[in-house]
Amino acid sequence: MTKAPALLALTLVSSALACSPDPADPADPADPAGDGEAGTGTDTNEAGAEPQPPSGRLVVDEVYFTGSPPLGGTDHYFSDQFIAVRNISDEPVAAGGLLLGDVFGLAGVINPGDEPNALAEDGEHVYMHNLWLIPGEPEEVVIEPGERLVIAQDGTNHSPLSTVDLSAADFETFVAESGQDEDYPTVANLESLHYNAGFDWLITVFGPSVAILSLDALGEGEALAYVDHQGWTLVQVPVAAVVDAVDIVKDGESGAFKRLPATVDQGFTFASGTYTGEAVVRRREDGHSVDTNDSSADFELTGAPNPWR
């Protein structure tokens, strides 16, 4: 069932922007320099080069989702999850207003009887389970050539529970309404546009599929829409809006559980298990990021997740 498709995008973005922090406010704790720069990996446009649109320039570069191996007296620790987006072009890219989220569906057979994701057969749309907005006008968040934008589940140093330090992340996902998520003051918050998760944005440790979206890339008559599916409300997104995406499933036998249509990602990637401290990271050849829209070829597994590589 589709509800108010034409109005959704505008409503979501305008309401989210209304509560955004001032991007150039010295009193904003996320921007102590008052220069509109949210953190490392982003910069204001002082060099004079015109920031470019994201399509064809930004890619998902690393997804650390598996959670940490037992460390520091705890196990099943996943608050150290992060997603890194890289500008693989030689021009600065305007990233304010971009959307990012996880695609609906199971990573594989988690419980007996789990079935593959039927929505992946729709080659014209992707179906987002949760959706976040990078706040600000496009030029207020600029990713310089070769640089990354790091998005943390929690923007803090996760030592001693994990080796991952996200205290210098560009953004974090803060779930105010849960009452159980911490708002780390030095890391700016993404704006929540559509939320189906729990006390924090846990992307499944079995393997999440992640997409970056730009509404500016939508064609004439194309818009986001809400759809109801298996008891969930999802955001249906035309594939034209997909800047980049990666399909991550449970294991090498779970290809039938792809969440993304082949029009977006022809393959899939995976880790060796949950709570392994593993991430998937985009391959580089001769110093260049590999992007063939086939995650089977474009990603490799690492046991050393690193927000700052």
Q: Among residues 38 and 187, whose Cβ is nearest to Ca ion?
A: 187
Q: To the nearest whole angstrom, how small is the minimum distance from the Cβ of residue 276 to Ca ion?
A: 22
Q: Among residues 121 and 183, whose Cβ is nearest to Ca ion?
A: 183
183 binds Ca ion (CB under 5 A): yes
* Interface residue with Ca ion, options 78, 127, 184, 257 (CB under 5 A): 184
Q: Among residues 87 and 173, whose Cβ is nearest to Ca ion?
A: 173
Interface with Ca ion (CB under 5 A), residue total 8
Alpha-carbon distances, residue 155 vs 79, 139, 186, 208 (angstroms)? 9, 23, 8, 20
Which range touches Ca ion (CB under 5 A), out of 34-42, 173-181, 204-212, 243-251? 173-181
CB 101 within 8 A of CB 130: yes
Would you state the structure tokens that stand for residue 1, as one six-digit string? 């069932």
Which range touches Ca ion (CB under 5 A), out of 36-44, 105-113, 192-200, 264-272? 192-200
Cα distance between residue 20 and residue 64, in whole Å? 27
Of the candidates 303, 252, 301, 283, the one whose C-alpha atom is nearest the C-alpha of residue 68 is: 303
Q: Among residues 47 and 176, whose Cβ is nearest to Ca ion?
A: 176
CB 117 within 8 A of CB 57: no
Cα distance between residue 94 and residue 289, in whole Å? 19
Q: Among residues 94 and 188, whose Cβ is nearest to Ca ion?
A: 188
Distance of CA 134 to the CA centre of its chain: 10
Strands of 52-209, DSSP E? 58-64, 82-87, 93-94, 99-103, 125-133, 142-143, 148-152, 171-172, 188-189, 191-194
Which range touches Ca ion (CB under 5 A), out of 138-146, 178-186, 245-253, 269-277? 178-186
Site string for Ca ion, 208-227 (x = CB under 5 A): --------------------
Site string for Ca ion, 132-171 (x = CB under 5 A): ----------------------x-----------------
Contact set with Ca ion (CB under 5 A): 154, 173, 181, 183-184, 187, 189, 200
